[in-house]
């Protein structure tokens, strides 16, 4: 117990002292997860609009396929990204493996099906009547699409927050394509795993506290957005 308290005290000292290594890891984690979430959202929104904007043959099958992709293990996505970005892979000439951009790509691929599935559900919940009413009142298709998104804006924001929370806590996939290189690709989750194995518990505890605080903040934001969407 005394060892635990000692390490916890040193972890708090690192947080209070603004340890540069600690906060560089935190900063990179937030940058990578935020950028990957934005990229995934940028692709998920037009995809969800294309799926829900009008009925078409096989629509249910497409929605089912999107929802099935949500269940794909993150390590499988990491393996696919590794094979694509490795030197012998089709995208190896980009030399992105073991860089932050590889982590962004892998995390975006992980978040995309989740955000798309949630966005499809959000747009479907608005209902076709609103879109039909807009078209009847003279709105164009783009205006109708924008109006539908506006009606579902809180649910769409919740989809983005959920995707961000998903990628922020990912470890194995991020380590596979990033390599956990100190000062280059080391993020909170991979650093916690490494430092715990090394016995450097104070840094692991400090990063764990920051990750926990971010997770709580994200959850609070999600609950607030869902509350407004419910009203």
Q: In angstroms, rounded to a whole number, what is the distance separating the alpha carbons of residues 9 and 231?
A: 44
pLDDT tens, the chain, 231 aa long: 567 777 778 788 888 887 888 999 999 999 999 999 999 999 999 999 889 877 788 889 999 999 999 999 999 999 999 999 999 999 999 999 999 999 999 999 999 999 999 999 988 887 666 666 666 666 666 676 777 778 888 889 999 999 999 999 999 999 999 999 998 999 999 999 998 888 888 888 899 999 999 999 999 988 888 776 655
- Is residue 15 within 8 Å of residue 206, measured between CB atoms? yes
Tokens of 218: 């994200």
Written as six digits, the tokens of 47 are: 């995809």
Backbone angles phi, psi at 80, to 5 degrees: -65, -45
Helix, strand, coil shares of the chain, percent, nearest 5, are 80, 0, 20
Q: 185: closest CA among 28, 19, 16, 26?
A: 28
Arch. (CATH architecture) of 28-230: Orthogonal Bundle (1.10)
Helix axes 2-16, 201-230, angle to 10 degrees: 70
Q: Tokens 């829900």 correspond to what residue?
A: 52
What the block records as the tokens of 151 is: 């009606």
H or E segment and range at residue 88? none
Q: How far is it, in rounded angstroms, from Cα 176 to Cα 82?
A: 7
**How far is CA 66 from each of CA 106, 157, 160, 181, rounded to the nearest angstrom?**
17, 19, 16, 33
C-alpha span between 215 and 217 (Å, rounded): 5
């Amino acid at each position: 117990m005394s060892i635990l308290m000692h390490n916890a005290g040193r972890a708090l000292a690192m947080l209070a002292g603004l340890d540069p290594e600690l906060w560089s890891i935190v900063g990179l984690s937030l940058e990578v997860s935020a950028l990957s979430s934005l990229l995934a959202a940028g692709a998920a929104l037009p995809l969800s609009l294309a799926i829900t904007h009008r009925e078409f043959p096989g629509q249910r099958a497409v929605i089912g396929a999107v929802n099935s992709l949500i269940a794909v293990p993150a390590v499988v996505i990491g393996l696919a990204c590794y094979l694509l970005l490795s030197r012998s892979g089709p995208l190896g000439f980009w030399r992105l493996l073991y860089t932050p951009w590889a982590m962004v790509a892998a995390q975006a691929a992980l978040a995309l099906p989740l955000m798309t599935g949630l966005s499809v559900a959000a747009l479907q919940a608005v209902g076709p009547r609103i879109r039909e009413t807009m078209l009847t009142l003279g709105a164009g298709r783009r205006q109708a699409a924008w109006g539908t998104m506006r009606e579902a804006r809180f649910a769409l924001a919740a989809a983005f927050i959920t995707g961000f929370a998903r990628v922020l806590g990912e470890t194995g996939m991020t380590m596979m394509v990033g390599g956990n290189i100190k000062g280059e690709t080391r993020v909170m989750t991979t650093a916690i795993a490494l430092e715990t194995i090394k016995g450097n518990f104070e840094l692991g505890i400090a990063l764990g506290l920051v990750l926990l605080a971010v997770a709580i903040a994200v959850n609070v934001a999600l609950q607030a957005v869902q509350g407004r969407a419910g009203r």
